[in-house]
């Protein structure tokens, strides 16, 4: 084959350091954060499908470019958004993302259900903690993990 083709969709999940909630990042502020991160991902060569989160975690859903490195995209997204959040929201001067992340591959037939799931974060978290949500996602994906290292 003389050309390179890629159709790789990834649902990312990562939280704030120690899953700390930042109340000022709720509502319209979270919409701003999501929009900023969407643009950062686009500039990094991804095709963002949706970015949504809650006061202590984020769910970017992206299509990877064929030459993109997932770890580079996550790292650069975290760095850029941390700087921007600290500048944009003065009461978040000690904001940090956790070091790690979870990445789940999504088949093309599951794009719309995944997009809807991410869009409904506010509803999910009325009765579900982030920790329980992540554990459910990991178990549903049959991911091997050591829970001692999930929570930094």
CATH code where residue 144 lies: 3.30.70.1290
Q: In which element (H, E) is residue 20 found?
A: none
Q: What is the mean pLDDT of residues 110-128?
A: 91
For residue 1, is it within any domain?
no
Distance CA(60)–CA(53), nearest Å, equals 8
- How many domains, in total, are found in the chain? 1
Which pLDDT belongs to residue 126?
86
Q: In which element (H, E) is residue 138 found?
A: helix 130-140
For residue 19, is it within any domain?
yes
Which pLDDT belongs to residue 96?
95
pLDDT band at 54 (very low <50, low <70, confident <90, very high): confident
pLDDT band at 1 (very low <50, low <70, confident <90, very high): low
pLDDT band at 147 (very low <50, low <70, confident <90, very high): confident
Its pTM surpasses 0.75: yes
Distant-in-sequence, close-in-space partners of 33: CB < 8 Å, separation ≥ 6: 25, 53, 58, 81, 85
For residue 3, is it within any domain?
no
Enter the DSSP assignment of 126. T
Domain limits for position 109: 8-149
């Amino acid at each position: 084959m003389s050309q390179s083709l890629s159709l790789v969709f990834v649902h990312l999940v990562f939280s704030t350091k120690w899953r700390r909630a930042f109340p000022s990042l709720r509502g319209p502020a979270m919409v701003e954060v999501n929009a900023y991160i969407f643009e950062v991902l686009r500039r990094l060569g991804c095709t963002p499908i949706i970015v949504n989160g809650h006061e202590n975690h984020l769910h970017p859903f992206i299509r990877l470019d064929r030459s993109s490195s997932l770890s580079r995209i996550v790292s650069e997204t975290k760095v850029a958004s941390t700087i921007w959040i600290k500048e944009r929201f003065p009461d978040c001067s000690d904001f940090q993302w956790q070091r790690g992340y979870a990445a789940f591959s999504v088949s093309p037939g599951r794009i719309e259900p995944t997009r809807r799931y991410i869009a409904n974060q506010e509803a999910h978290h009325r009765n579900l903690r982030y920790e329980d949500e992540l554990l459910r996602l990991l178990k549903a994906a049959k991911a091997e993990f050591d829970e001692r290292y999930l929570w930094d």
